[in-house]
Amino acid sequence: MISHTGTLFADGPVGRVVDTALRAQRSQGALDLEDEIRRFVRTMRAADTSRWLFPVASVAALLDHTADLLRSEGTAFFPPTFTERLDEARNAVPGDDYLRALAGLIRVAERQPDAGFADLPLADWEATVRFPELRGFGANWIYDGEYPSLVDSIAAFVEAEHPFCGETFSRLVADAQAVLVLFPQSDALSAHVTRWIPWVSQDALREIIRRIDGHMRTEHSVS
C-alpha cells in the first residue's frame, strides 16, 4: 500500500510534472519539453483555486525537495511507479539533477505571462483537465449513439440528473461558457477544442447553456 507520503509523488504535483516530461520524451521530438512545461503552468494558473491552494512556485520548490530526498534517501523512499516514470523521462541524466532542471524550467515559465493559445495550442491533456465535463458529456451521452441528435442527448441528460442536478449542471455550464469565451471564433474553437472533443461546437455549447438555464428556472427557482 502506498503511504500518504508516497501519494505525494505518485499522484501529486511532482508526479504530474514527471508525467509532463515523460510525455515529451515519448513523443520523440514531436513535443518540446519547455512548451509542455508552459502548458503545465498555464493549466495551473487557469483556476483561482489552484493559485490559492498550490502556487506554481510551490511546485518548483517541491521538485527541489524531491531531488534532495532522492539523493539522500535513494529510490527506495519513493513509490516504484514514480521512479519508473522518472527513469524513463530523465534519459540517463541523474535523477536529482533532472528534477532540479524541471524545477528551473517551471521557474522560467512562472516568471512569464501565460502562453496564448495562438502561440501554444491547447493540447489533448489540457482539454481533458480544463474541460472535464465536456469530455465526460460526450463519452456518456453522445458517442454511443443512443440518442438521435445532440438536442435529444442534452434533454435525456437533464431529465436523468434531475432533481440532484445542481452541482453537475453548474460544472457543465461553466465548461461550456468558458470555451465560448476563450474561443469565440469558429476556427479557433475547432483548432483548440473540437479536435480533442469532437461533439463541441458553438451551437452545441449554447444549446447546453440554454437548456440547463431553462431547467433551473423552471424546476429550481424560488416561486
Q: Which residue has the higher pLDDT, 70 or 216?
A: 70
Q: Is residue 24 classed as helix, strand or coil in its secondary structure? A: helix
- For residue 139, the surrounding DSSP H or E stretch is helix 132-141
pLDDT in tens, 93-126: 999 999 999 999 999 999 999 999 999 999 999 9
Q: Is the pLDDT at 164 greater than 90, yes or no?
A: no
Give me the pLDDT at residue 222, please. 67
For residue range 79-93, list pLDDT tens digits in order. Answer: 999 999 999 999 999
**pLDDT, mean over the chain:** 93
Using CA atoms, how far apart are residues 201 and 103, in angstroms rounded to an integer? 37
Residue 22 has which C-alpha cell?
Answer: 515523460
pLDDT-derived band at 68 (thresholds 50, 70, 90) equals: very high
Ramachandran angles phi, psi of 185, nearest 5°: -95, 145
